[in-house]
Amino acid sequence: MLRAEGYDITIQASTKSRSGAQIIKINNPGNGKNITQVQVSPGGGRHGDNPYVKISTNDQGLIKIVDGVESTYKTDGAEKATIIFTGGK
């Protein structure tokens, strides 16, 4: 999907993940392309069992979309991302 939109991407395993998260690195941001990286986590790591997608942008910061409710998400309180929970609170 990203390649079809003109993004040059590299897929690699996250070096910080215990859950097997994959990182999609954008090699050509700019020219109207504000996404710099997408991380897909299956859950089960340091943030709990909820799978999530984290989108890094060069103009809006980090956006994390968590599949689940806020009450089951584990955080260290130092989140820099705007977090959206698909299941609410």
Residue 52 structural domain: 3-85
Assign 9 a pLDDT band (cuts: 50, 70, 90). Answer: very high
Please state the pTM of the whole predicted model.
Answer: 0.83
Residues of 56-81 as b/e, b for ≥16 C-beta within 10 angstroms? beeeeeeebebebeeeebeeeeeeeb
User: Nearest-CA neighbor of 53 among 61, 69, 45, 42?
Assistant: 42
Q: Are 38 and 44 in contact (CB under 8 A)?
A: no
Cα–Cα nearest to 47, from 84, 80, 17: 17
* More reliable by pLDDT, 48 or 17: 48
- What is the number of domains present in the chain? 1
Rounded distance, CA 51 to CA 18, Å? 13
Model pLDDT for residues 20-79, shown as the tens digit of each residue: 889 999 998 778 888 999 999 998 877 888 999 999 999 999 999 999 999 999 888 888
In this predicted structure, the answer to whether residue 14 has a pLDDT above a threshold of 80 is yes
